[in-house]
Structure 1
Amino acid sequence: MARLDAPGAGGVELRIGILLWPQFPLLSLAGLCDALRHAADIGDQSQQLRCSWTVLGTPGERIAASCGIEVPVQQSLGSEATFDYIAVIGGLLPQLDKADRRQVRFLKQAAASGVPLLGICTGSFVLAHHGLMDGHTACVHPFHVADWQRLFPALPHSTHGDYLVDGDRITCAGGVSIIELATELVRRHCGADRAAKVVHQMTVSRRAASSHVARRHALGYAGADNDKLRQAILLMEKNIATPLEIGVIARLVDCNRRQLERVFVAETGLSPAEFYRRSRLKFGRWLLTTTDAAISVIAADSGFADSAHFIRLFQQHYGMAPGRLRAALVAKV
């Protein structure tokens, strides 16, 4: 279960195994999975290509959410799958001790193997209850502060922000905050273009919270409030292999080129052309590391007129020629 730095089988860049505690909040599961779904594929195809997620447990078991909807287990705890994170979505506090003991053993084995643990909503309580938050600070929803202080008086907590990264423990307050956390994980593993897609697709509202500041720093744009920007980015993504002219994109989103330039520079710090080019290079890098396609084919699929142009821009952006990067990854395996 050791964490891997290189893309996994099938080119998956972010792999999350999910443990559900009894009476878990459905919003936390839906927010996490939908954010990963938007990042995982081009357009809106929802294939688990660049991200994967699965509910772990005992095959045939169904876990009831706090709203009464039951979610089936998808994969056995004993599988040989490798994950970048194990996410625990906690349930109602009276149910803290009612989970399958095999889940607890699995969590402790994951922690011992160095796999980072995510505590979502009262998932932080689950981790603390089983001694997995010792030496770490938890992000706790203000509604649950008194419960945390009562149950874990010796463990530090924070209510500032939507999530808290503390080494190999990452905790999230719950609710829509999971979208903020999922976006950050996507940015780390899949890149800013994938993270931008999550934000734009899920229309995260603009706020002045600390996590919003972190998102702006990480992604280079302020938010998803500008509808023209959102439409333009989706058009770019849907037209990777045959790039559209920026003037055409401007007309399709019902503005002129100069207006679109201003929006992109203000929100992303990049011109539309540069944002588009970087997204295509990122796509090319993903193809390079997950397929055996020739560089000439990858260049064409990424929207570059010829291999030489692709290679030159790739080396400028990543500091390494495409062929050298592929050879380095093969050597690492």
Structure 2
Amino acid sequence: MRAPKNAVSEAVQAHALVGRLDDLSQTRGVGVDLNVGILLWPRFPLLSLGGLCDALRHAADRGDQSRQLRCVWTTIGAQNGAVESSCGVAVPVQSAFPPAGQFDYIVVIGGLLPHLDQVDPRYWTYLREAADAKVPLIGICTGSFVLARAGLMQDRVACVHSFHYEDYRRMFAHLRVVTHADYLIDGDRITCAGGISVIELAARLINLHCGPDRAAKVIHQMTVSRQGGSSFVERRRALGYFSVEDAAVRHAVLLMEENIEAPLNIAVIAKMTGTSVRQLERAFMAEMKASPNEFYRWMRLRYARWMLLNTSRKITDIAYECGFSDSAHFIRVFRQACGVTPGKLRASRGGGDQEE
């Protein structure tokens, strides 16, 4: 049976887009940009490992060749060992506790909670040595529990899946925790709720280390836009990817993108990027020709404008999703910045919903 014309056209466009993104990547030079070590805890979820590794492989090479060129990933643990996943499939260890300092990140993919302590004691030692070496640690799924049990989440906030929220509060009553988020970056500790949220976190890290072209390829290859409602893919279309030289500014922009609905204070962003507010302001003026607050507001308004023109969301809902306290405040700020009210902008494309 012959494929429909529109399907063939979409396939051609998809291949062309990946080709353009790969061509952009060639202009950035060669070499490993992102090196990730992965510690698997007993009965870990395969989806978390697969999502992370697949994102890295798409970013690492041209097309679908999957060579570890720009990104490198390694499962680490006891020599000649293998770790059984929650579905029973065992994954071999590739390297026996190599020097932690060789990695940009060490990722812990946690498993079923009853198996939390059923690991070789060297796993705990390795994590603490990595923390002492200032290697950023990432806890995925119940990996946040592993980091907390190792004593590595003091004065840090963990992000967990809502299913495990009460478990975390019960087991670590003295530690702070949030839920209903994909992931949380708290200095050199990053925690992720797991599931498909892993793809979003991986894209952030790839954007930060490998560039916007690599992150865009990951999103294109690994996600499908939902029908109706805003999605991660739609936000990427609305905001695009910013190519920024300064590492602190890149990190700050990622945090702003992540926290559009509930904007972070610039002082919090500065702390999370390892700079002072004054240093961050100087870096933003040099890179973006705007202060962090001005850039953050511009980003939220740009996302709002995109939703007005491309979705049927109510203006009140758009206002809240873009971090405005109410629709009246949103309408006023939008009109000052764009010279037109949200309702009139939407009406210009033939839509309805003129709430103002």
Normalising by the residue count of structure 2, what TM-score does the alignment of the two structures yield? Answer: 0.57
Q: Indicate yes or no: 2:86 matched with 1:66.
A: yes
1:175-190 mapped onto 2 (5 Å cutoff):
175-190=195-210
Paired with 1:190 and 1:132, the residues of 2 have a C-alpha distance of 27
Report what 1:55 is aligned to: 75
Aligned residues: 214
- Name the structure 2 match of 1:299: none
Give the percent of matched residue pairs that are identical in Structure 1 and Structure 2. Answer: 59
Instruction: Give every structure 1 segment of 4 or more consecutive aligned residues whose post-TM-superposition deviation is greater than 6 Å.
Output: 209-212
- The structure showing larger relative contact order (alpha-carbon pairs under 8 Å, at least 6 residues apart) is 1
Amino acid at match of 1:197: K
- Measure how far apart 1:130 and its partner are: 1.0
User: Where does residue 83 of structure 1 map in the other structure?
Assistant: 103
Match of 1:219 in 2: 241
**Contact 1:180–1:211 (8 Å) recurs in 2:** no
Offset of residue 11 of structure 1 = 1.2
The reply on whether 1:45 has 2:71 as its aligned counterpart is no
CA contact (8 A) 1:161 1:210 kept: no
Computed over aligned residues only, the root mean square deviation of the Cα atoms, in angstroms, reads 2.4
Q: Does 1:154 align with 2:154?
A: no
Give yes or no for the alignment of 1:127 onto 2:147.
Answer: yes
The partner residue of 1:100 within 120, 127, 136 is: 120
TM-score between the two structures when normalised by the length of structure 1: 0.60
* Aligned mates of 1:81, 1:200 — CA distance in 2: 32
Distance 1:182 1:58, change over 3 A: same
Match of 2:25 in 1: none
- Deviation, structure 1 residue 120: 0.2
- Report the Cα distance in structure 2 between the residues aligned to 1:120 and 1:198, rounded to whole angstroms: 19
Q: Does 1:173 align with 2:196?
A: no
- The question of 1:20 aligning with 2:40 is answered yes
The alignment partner of 2:225 has SS state of coil
The whole-number CA distance in structure 1 between the counterparts of 2:204 and 2:232 is 13
Q: Deviations over 1:149-185 (max 9, x none)?
A: 1101111111132010000000000011100000000
Q: 2:162 aligns with which of 134, 139, 142?
A: 142
Contact 2:223 2:233 (8 Å CA) reproduced: no
Query: In structure 1, what residue type is equivalent to 2:159?
Result: C
Gaps of 5+ in 1: 1-9, 223-265, 268-333
Deviations 1:61-81 (A, max 9, x none): 010000000000001104577
Q: Cα offset for 1:211?
A: 10
Query: Partners of 1:99 and 1:212 in 2: how far apart?
Result: 41
One-letter amino acid matched to 1:184: R
